[in-house]
Chain A
């Protein structure tokens, strides 16, 4: 069973925003949705490896800052070209103001 890793605190990410998180030589994107939930996906866009932390969160979509490809960050599903390959997603839970991720 993979451990839960303390990635950040809930106050570190504004609502409807995204933050970069690096762990174990890998890079991830953490999201704070407009309805207060937290999510985690791979950090790099599956189109051309640009980090999604510089992108824009619109409702439950993350838009890549380079080519405007979009993903649903809850499921990782690619929603708009040039993004065609889905992102990997990772389980997230919140405990006492701490955002914990299982990677």
Chain B
């Protein structure tokens, strides 16, 4: 039985064995080519951000204008996805600081997206750093979305944010009143703790104000605009997010074995900001979202074949999850191209299928 607690036995063993904070595999890319891929630009992210927030304003306005008619429903559904799903990828890219070249633009969008996703901007910056250090290392990575065995009720409920939002509100209250949680102290440095508490209090105050407005107006509309879209619009970011590592190996140090690149339609790629190129992102996190298709083309000879679609991704994950639910120790073994370089066979024998 795996112990996913950051304070537990698996985490301690990962440190002892050298799995934690290990060197990870990187495909060789000539320096000049990588430098070109890493270049930052404000233009693509300004364009996408104006489109995103512009669409949100129009959709929310239409939803409010048509409220309470059912004709408002399609507008709320679209608004919800941009709020409860596109903000996940904006939080992610701006947290890396790669979306915009200009630092303050990353910070502004990161803070707004963190609020909308109900994530503490200080805590989650550090949890995501740990996710990149120890990707899917049990007991070390605080962002493991699908544990073994998978909690299906949680996965399905989170399509509508049910468990995530309950946990987020609980943690927001904890941080605002009691301070930093003991688990958070394992990856957030002490110098950042005041920022965690301050952000939690700001978020809590805004949500309380929106709730008070809704009560004063005797209307749910303020909550339809702020807060509830984190529930009714979450499905797309959960759908794409589960594909990132679902059903693949854990406790390895090669992103080709534990991450998944999925080819997707352009609408999902806009919402997801190209994070469907997930192996590429983990291998080279300093490459901005708009350059990931080029990075994919540059290193695909060294990667497993990409999953052909969202549907294909779920078709391969679902049977594995079902077997894991029955207690089987199974996962998807990735076939590397014949030209690919093997890496750390001591850690990866099972994940590469060279044993069992």
Contact = CB atoms under 8 A, between A and B. Distances in A.
A49 B22 CA distance: 10
A67 interface: yes
Contact of B286 (A47, A63, A81, A84): A63
A6 interface: no
Given A56-B286, A67-B285, A82 B129 contact: yes
A66 B285 contact: yes
Interface string A62-75: 01111110100000
Interface string B7-24: 000000000000001000
Chain B contact residues, majority secondary structure = helix
Given A81-B192, A82-B125, A84-B189, A48 B133 contact: yes
Interface residues of A, number: 20
B126 A58 contact: no
A63 B34 CA distance: 13
B120 to A, nearest CB: 13
Interface in B42-91: none
B334 interface: no
Given A17-B35, A81-B125, A65 B286 contact: yes
B129 A63 contact: no
Contacts, number: 47
B133 A67 contact: yes
A80 B285 contact: no
A84 B125 CA distance: 13
A65 B284 contact: yes
Interface string B272-293: 0000000000001110000000
B339 interface: no
Interface of B: 21, 31, 34-35, 38-40, 96-98, 101, 103, 125-126, 129, 132-133, 189, 191-192, 284-286
